[in-house]
Structure 1
Amino acid sequence: MRPGQRSAAQRVRRYVVQIPYFVVLLGLLVAAVLVLFDRWRRGAFVFGSVLLLGAVLRAFIPTSRVGLLQVRSKFFDVAVMASVGSLILWLATSIDPLGTD
């Protein structure tokens, strides 16, 4: 294998391992847009769901391929994302809408 090919494969791998991170980031962007358009309950629900998705992705994807979803240890990352995601989902579903959506 020539050196140029190896570096191209490494460049592609650098972007491919970031796909889980970009999926979570895209979901958070959708949640922010919903909140900006005064759909705070839907936005909060999407936000909490995306955090739970991030926790699942971090739990099942090997550390060598998780990319920027890795902040600390696997246990810490999964515990924090799952806890915050569950709390936000609980808040989004339990607060009385008071005529709003």
Structure 2
Amino acid sequence: MTMTEDRRDVHDRRHRQSRFTQLPLAVVLLVVAVAALRIVQYHWREGAALIGAALLLAGVLRAVLPTERAGLLAIRGKVVDIVTYAGLAAAVLYVALTIIGGPFSSS
């Protein structure tokens, strides 16, 4: 095998692997897009709860997937990412589920 063939082989493996590397982030962003749609439709509590669920999903995906397959969900170390995603999810869900009344209250 020549050097050029070896480089092509490495490039092909990287290209195949990189196609689906960002799939976990795409799934999380899809949930966030649905949440944004719900917020625009004046269902802000449902939208906020969906954002919390998206953060929780990001934490679960980060915990389950190896770092190479986590894509852009891998920001820091695995434990730091999981704790951060879970903490933010808990905070957003707490706010979304406990606030009552106010200017955004629905009838």
TM-score by length of 1: 0.86
* Structure index of larger Rg: 2
Structure 2 residue 92 is matched with structure 1 residue 88: yes
Provide Cα deviations, 1:69-101, integer angstroms capped at 9, x if missing partner. Answer: 011111111111100101111111111156517
Please, which runs of 5 or more residues in structure 1 have no aligned partner? none
Please, which runs of 5 or more residues in structure 2 have no aligned partner? none
- Paired position in structure 2 for 1:44: 48
Structure 2 residue 82 is matched with structure 1 residue 72: no
TM-score by length of 2: 0.81
Provide Cα deviations, 1:15-37, integer angstroms capped at 9, x if missing partner. Answer: 21211111011111111121112
The CA distance in 2 between the partners of 1:84 and 1:65, in whole Å, is 22
- Paired position in structure 2 for 1:33: 37
CA RMSD in angstroms comes to 2.1
Percent identity reads 35
Shift of 1:50: 0.8
Number of matched pairs? 101
**Among 96, 103, 106, which residue is 1:100 paired with?**
106
Consecutive aligned runs of 4 or more in structure 1 exceeding 3 Å deviation: 1-9
